[in-house]
Amino acid sequence: MQAAGLLSGGTPVIKKYKVAASHIAGIIVIRSATATAGVSTSTTTSVADAVGLVLERNQALAQGGDVVYSTTQGDDEAVYSVIVNPDLILRMLMSGGATASTALTAHDITTASAAGTVLTTGDDHSSPTVLDGLAWFTSGANVGQSRKITTVSTTAATVLVPFLNDTVVGDLFIDVPWFPGNAVGIELTSDLTQAQGGVDASGTAAFEPIDVELNGTADSYIHALAVDHVFGVST
Amino acid sequence: MNPEILVKTRWWSPRDILKSFEARVGPTRGRLAGGWIHDLCSLKKVVLLCAPCNPKFDPKKLGYIRDTDWPRYGGKCDGCGTWDGYCTAYYYEPEFLTVRSTADERRALARSRRKRIQQGSL
């Protein structure tokens, strides 16, 4: 994930923190657990007590290889720069699976809708559910338009506000379980750097979506805040 | 009269040298800031410099770029170890976009989106 801005428009603050495990750049670290050597790694489903975004992977001075967290005397100490602002806007690529950079699924319309509200496909939209998520067309007359999904079933996703044009068989659209301003979480990819679509978002990591960049299956982004932050007003 | 006590000068032990590799803010004892920052750069770490230390650093020479989207950072200067709310951050260029999204990058993507919509497919 990337640092995209600060909600308050202030100055980002970088702190260098000791870590209790090896990390890669672009992940959230969380509050140090008791009796550990430093801040801990988040998980795909939890960023509770977030400390901030890791800006660098650690490298050994000698060979340029990664410095791994170590308790051996004489080893390099693993320390990372972290942006610690609680209002940091995080930009995450939407991934279609647990593996980072998996393309999102583009569903094709199998039954036309003259009203422009029912997106009928051969795919299940109720499990994992995209209810209260977002659908946008990537081809056809409605290309680029997006709507909030208000009803889901095993064959269709329905929107309340119609798309401007009829949907036609063969039109392609993408649906994701997130909607800006809606209180849902985000499950992260296994490397903790991207937002994983294609899973039920409820009960996952405590992010609040704030914005989206709706493009194709491989270059759509979600902007979110880690709302359970140790330096926030309440955690 | 007390006899004169000679104290042997402490020199760099192997352990001291290893300790000097630790990533801490500001140069370690007995090290110049410039050498310390070069070490940080060889680790591809983010370098944060306050206004007085800033002109002494040449980012291009070391493959670093300045974060112009955020011209001000708060943090401890890697040169002098002082907390300053007006620091400049330098990132190792190949890894910059891994952790930072810039307006230029988003603008290019928005342009590409408009073009693709005109062509009928995102």
B121 to chain A: closest CA residue: A139
pLDDT tens, residue by residue, A56-89: 876 544 444 555 677 878 776 778 899 999 999 9
Specify the pLDDT at position A72: 79
B23/A contact by beta carbon, under 8 A: yes
ipTM: 0.87
pLDDT tens, residue by residue, A201-232: 877 888 999 999 999 999 999 999 999 999 98
The pLDDT confidence band at residue A32, using thresholds 50, 70 and 90, is confident
Query: What predicted TM-score, i.e. pTM, was given to this entire model?
Result: 0.87
Interface of A with B (CB under 8 A): 1-4, 11-16, 25-26, 53-61, 64, 67, 74, 76-77, 79, 81, 91, 136-139, 143-144, 172, 213-216, 219
Give the total residue count for chain A: 235
Count of CB pairs separated by less than 8 Å, A with B: 110
What are the angstrom distances between the C-alpha of A211 and each of A5, A67, A208, A220, A224?
Answer: 12, 35, 9, 11, 7
Non-local (6+) Cβ contacts of A180 within 8 A are: A209, A210, A211, A212, A223
The pLDDT confidence band at residue A141, using thresholds 50, 70 and 90, is very high
Q: What residue has token string 């803010």?
A: B25
Of A13, A58, A144, the CB nearest to B74: A13
- What is the pLDDT averaged over residues A161-184? 93
pLDDT of B2 above 70: no
Specify the pLDDT at position A234: 59
A79 to chain B: closest CA residue: B23
pLDDT of A126 above 80: yes
B18/A contact by beta carbon, under 8 A: yes
The answer to whether A79 contacts B24, with C-beta atoms less than 8 Å apart, is yes
Closest CA of chain B from A51, distance in Å: 15
